[in-house]
Amino acid sequence: MWRDVETLCPFCGVGCRIVLRVYDEKVEALYPSEEGVNEGKLCIKGWSAHEFIHHPERLSRPLLREDRSREFREVSWDEALAVIKCRLEAVLENNGPDAVNFLGSAKCTNEDNYALQKFARAVVGTSHIDHCARLCHASTVTGLSMSFGSGAMTNSIDDIEDANVILLIGSNTSEQHPLIGRRIIKTVKEKGAALIVADPRRIDLVEVSRLHLRHRPGTDTALINGILHVIIQEGREDRKFIEENTKGFEAVAKSLGDYAPEHLEAITGVPSRQIVEAARMYAGAEKASIIYAMGITQHVSGTDNVVALANLSMATGNVGRKGTGINPLRGQNNVQGACDVGVLPDFFPGYQSAEDPDVRDYFSKSWNTDRLPEKNGLTLCEMTEAIFEKRTRWMYIMGENPTLSDPDSVHVRRALENIDFLVVHDIFLTETAAFANVVLPGASYAEKDGTFTSTERRVQRIRKALEPVGEARPEWKAIGDLAGRMGYEEMEWQSAREVFSEIAGVTPIYRGMSYERLEGTGIQWPCPGVNHPGTPLLHSGGFARGKGCFISVHYNPPPEVSDDDYPLILMTGRSLFQFHTGTMTRRSPTLQGQLDEAYAEVNPGDAKTLGITDGMKIAVESRRGIIRVAARITERVSPGTVFIPFHFAEAAANILTLRTLDPKSKIPELKVSAVKMKREELTTLNEIKKSNGEMKE
């Protein structure tokens, strides 16, 4: 008999509601819910989100190997957890809690992530807990917290349709967040809004834009400062808003003297008249909205880019009203939620400082533990270096695939080869799991209850449609079982509902939420009380920090620029037809039928110079490695630049990228790397070994 179960799409951060159609304990199909942000529509990934659930490669039992020279063997949960406990207790006794690292997951539920960070802090006693937000929106959390007091999307997705002008910068929205891209197109075509696209590539949304600012990769801070310079020089700032709601404006205005559009042409490549036009369009709008994604954040200047955007919005009074605001688009389904529930090395749940003695005292009592660490932990990329230095020796990775997603990924693979003990908890034997000592089978989104928090801060329920495959378990349950074996009894939850109740109890922005209240389309945080309706719009009655803070930021060139040896600049990103490292989507026949191999977008002029033709296999090399991809000759990229999606293990784009970090948010430089290209047949044996990580650094 058919039955329908309403839940959420497991891919990007839009939070689309879907209905799984289950027959004979198998999800046979799905369709979009008529309620919610997606308004009864889905992108191609959403329509295909059921296809990986029953894939024959799903992990169904724990896997163990005594050493990494041997093959995995299937074992019971008792044996797997006993080995993990034994090895964890040994490292704690010999090396202490800060020899242990944890990575949570933006693809797992709030309940799963809360369990992992609680285990790290309350059982192990370390703050070494992080997740992939460090690779996508760490600079958003840092930058917007500095400027506004809250590091999240200020407005709601449906607010986009109230905007008169939309500044879209660093976001290929129609491919990365298609249902939000649809909203943008609707706002432009049906409501007459003006769209400004700032992007080095000619993305699809350029076709409906009024202005395309095609700046050079890595020059975002200069471009944004240039727009604000024009606004102030022409007296277009909102003086009333500035005086009543902000501080620090005069210092920032004074700091922008070097950002005249004429001066910026040589830096950004954008004609001065276009910078002036963008400034007048944005400042002249009654309601102007800024939408951005990882084209802004994944830089060593990522925090500065976000702060510059915050300055721009405050200077024009475009905060705290519908159709305005700063709207970062989260890349994965629960990256917002994983941050909210404390999978960060410097924050307990609810962004409560890990170094605040009062916060530690509160959580020590709430969790009944005396093991809480007193200092911030290592970030994701810092963990890699700590492994090489033998400062950390044991690691638990839940639902992440850093051998593809992290920068300079050959370096990451060497780290995982060198760690003493590795646990990977996932639904497939990923490229990262191949390095593990123990692999634990997790439950897919269709096999458990829980919550995801979307890019607009909307907490929504997912619902169990069928039993986990084989002996797989929800991640929160397995972590709770391990805690019990370690002698800690405060994680003996019987249901995801119990876990969420605990989350709400210790997380002020979630405090008024419960599974009952989340029925329907969920609630947007902050929701501080049981009678509170949630908060669709932040900063409407003043900024979370009191007064918004203008902060001076300045352009610095990227850490690596093109030169005679590496004359091209590589940009990385996503495709419409694949998601993240492909763990789920590359097991979807529909999506594989659309795109099943890596490619490099190459400008026709560069292709002609190098003797490259469309479809030809080429080698792309940086100072860190080399990959082979198919060439796509296209005007989408400017001369001197190359674009490669990072979904494909056999041509992992992050082999080529830098691990240099933003000093404020510790996000790596993933968008600007110097590379060279040549036809595949011209590569040498040493180059092949380099690409496979066989040559020493």
Q: For the domain 568-691, what is the CATH code? A: 2.40.40.20
Per-residue pLDDT, 325: 97
What residues pair up with 95 in beta bridges, in sequence order? none
* β-sheet bridge partners, residue 291: 168, 327
- The pLDDT value given to residue 695: 43
Q: Give residue 696's pLDDT.
A: 41
Centre a 10 Å sphere on the Cβ of residue 110 and count the other Cβ atoms it contains: 28
State residue 468's pLDDT score.
97
Split at pLDDT 50, 70, 90, the class of 697 is: very low
**How many angstroms separate the CA atoms of 675 and 600, rounded?**
12
pLDDT at 66: 83
Compute the distance between CA of residue 85 and CA of residue 411 in angstroms, rounded to an integer: 28
CB under 8 Å to 428, separation ≥6 — which residues? 55, 57, 58, 59, 583, 587
What confidence score (pLDDT) does residue 541 get? Answer: 86
Give the three-class secondary structure for 499. Answer: helix
Query: What average pLDDT does the chain have?
Result: 95
Q: Is 358 exposed, middle or buried (0-12, 13-18, 19+ CB in 10 A)?
A: exposed
Strand partners, 540: 542
Q: What's the rounded mean pLDDT across residues 13-38?
A: 96
**The model scores a pTM over 0.85:** yes
Rounded CA-CA distance 258/554 in Å is: 10
The stretches of 172-219 forming alpha helices (DSSP H) are: 173-176, 178-191
pLDDT mean over 118-141: 95
Q: What is the pLDDT of residues 280-292, one digit of tens each?
A: 999 999 999 999 9
Inform me whether the pLDDT recorded for 61 exceeds 90.
Answer: yes
| Region 253-264 average pLDDT | 96
| For residue 690, pLDDT beyond 60 | no
Assigned CATH for 63-134+337-446+471-502: 3.40.50.740
Of all helices (H) and strands (E), which one includes residue 194? Answer: strand 194-198
Instruction: Say which residues have a Cβ less than 8 Å from residue 244's Cβ, sequence separation at least 6.
Output: none
Task: Answer yes or no: is pLDDT of 692 > 90.
Answer: no
Domain boundaries, given as residue ranges, for the chain: 3-47, 63-134+337-446+471-502, 154-328, 568-691
- The average pLDDT across 514-523 equals 96
**pLDDT single digits (tens) 582-619:** 999 999 999 999 999 999 999 999 999 999 999 999 99
Average pLDDT over residues 546-550: 96
pLDDT tens sequence across 432-444: 999 999 999 999 9
Which pLDDT does position 93 carry in this prediction? 97
- Rounded to whole angstroms, the Cα distance separating 364 from 358 reads 10
Q: Which residues contact 86 (CB under 8 A, 6 or more apart)?
A: none
Please give the share of the chain, as a percent, with pLDDT higher than 70: 98
User: Which whole number is the average pLDDT over 53-81?
Assistant: 95
384 DSSP assignment: H
Query: How far apart are alpha carbons 16 and 183 in whole angstroms?
Result: 13
Give domain 3-47's CATH architecture: Single Sheet (2.20)
Indicate if the pLDDT at residue 345 is higher than 90: yes
What is the 3 state secondary structure string of 235-298?
CCCCHHHHHHHEECHHHHHHHCCCCCHHHHHHHHCCCHHHHHHHHHHHHHCCCEEEEECHHHHC
Is the pLDDT score of 683 beyond 80?
A: no
| 660-678: average pLDDT | 96
pLDDT at 685 over 60: no
Higher-pLDDT residue of 680 and 39 is 39
Residue 684: band (very low, low, confident or very high) from pLDDT cuts 50, 70, 90 = low
* The pLDDT of residue 670: 94
Fold of 154-328: Dimethylsulfoxide Reductase; domain 2 (3.40.228)
**CB 74: neighbour CB atoms within 10 A?**
16
Question: Per-residue pLDDT averaged across 534-556, rounded?
Answer: 95
DSSP reduced 3-state for 308: helix
Cβ atoms within 10 A of the Cβ of 516, count? 8
408 Rama sector, left if φ>0, alpha if ψ -120 to 50, beta otherwise: left
Question: For residue 689, what pLDDT band results from cuts at 50, 70 and 90?
Answer: low
Residue closest to 220 by CA, chosen among 286, 150, 152, 293: 293
